[in-house]
Structure 1
Amino acid sequence: MQLEVGSLVTGKVTSITKFGAFIDLGEGKTGMVHISEIAPTYVNEIRDHLTEGQEVKVKVLTVGTDGKIGLSIKKAIDNPPPAAHSPQKPFRREGGRGGADFGRRNNESMTFEDMMNKFKQSSDEKMYDLKRSVESKRGSSGTKRGAKFG
């Protein structure tokens, strides 16, 4: 069987690593599905989506001259949902670091521009607080460093 880029084939998961899964395509050929090609959503743990021995439908992305075969499960899905980073959809941040809240507030979605404005405002406030803090530690006598006292 000659594998061509773009073809859909069925294979069996032979092993799972932290960066992807290896798929036995038959006839002694093995390909790899990178973690970013496992599912149309963010994949933190591959074992949440695949198990060893599972049969999967994959799309051939690359066939290297060195014999390496790049595969995708998410591109083999008939109707994948639109990408999460689509500019048409509002971006939501579920959590994380930082003082700014970029998530939903009062059940309304924020556009990218709204988020940028909120981030800029938050950043300006933090810079102002930082400057004020540094000046208070130095003392606000109005003298510059290295100035001679008379």
Structure 2
Amino acid sequence: MSIEVGAKVPGKVSGITNFGAFIDLGAGKTGLVHISEVSNGFVKDINEVLKVGDEVTVLVTNIGTDGKIGLSIRKAEDKPREEKREYPKKEFNRGPKKPFTRNQPSQAPANTKQDFDSLMSSFLKDSDDRLSSLKRNTEGKRGGRGGRRN
């Protein structure tokens, strides 16, 4: 029996290490199943999943130029295909739909108390006040040459 990449072959666990299990494939061939390829779930201790002498079916994932054979138990398992679940669409009540039309000027509220110029001047005044208080608070904390000047 020749061992090729992609082939499912039976084997027997011949040794267990903390990083995986060695599988005797017969005909004097031995491969390694890495701990991440033992099960679909997380395996903390491989000894809880496999024992020496267990019969397993493995998938040959790679064969190195040095003769090392990489195996996978989880990829060899025939698992049923999961069906896609159909979830019902959620309906949101967003109120009546408004028609969207391009190139219409936005309509400002009818009762605006201030015009743009007064809003801009109040914004600039607030901004200047905040900047001056920031400068005052950070000027003394700089250290070095930028100390307070009177």
Tell me the TM-score normalized by structure 2.
Answer: 0.56
Runs (4+) of structure 1 exceeding 6 A deviation are none
Matched residue count: 94
Instruction: Name the structure 2 match of 1:38.
Output: 38
**Structure 2: how far apart are the matches of 1:60 and 1:35?**
15
Give the CA deviation at 1:148: 3.2
Letter of the 1:144 counterpart: K
Correspondence for 2:142? 145
Contact 1:40–1:80 (8 Å) recurs in 2: no
**Structure 1 unmatched runs, 5+:** 83-87, 89-140
The answer to whether the Cα contact below 8 Å between 1:57 and 1:76 also exists between their aligned partners in 2 is yes
After TM superposition, the structure 1 = structure 2 runs for residues 104-119 of structure 1, keeping only pairs within 5 Å, are: none
Q: Name the TM-score, length of structure 1 as normaliser.
A: 0.56
Determine the structure 2 residue equivalent to 1:63.
Answer: 63
Q: Distance in 2 between matches of 1:58 and 1:80?
A: 17
CA distance in 1, matches of 2:60, 2:75: 9
Which runs of 5 or more residues in structure 2 are unaligned?
Answer: 86-136
User: Residue 101 of structure 2 aligns with which residue?
Assistant: none
Structure number with bigger Rg:
2
Counterpart of 2:141, as a letter, is: K
Structure 2 CA distance for aligned equivalents of residues 75 and 53 of structure 1: 21
Question: Shift in Å at residue 53 of structure 1?
Answer: 1.1
Identity of aligned residues (%): 56
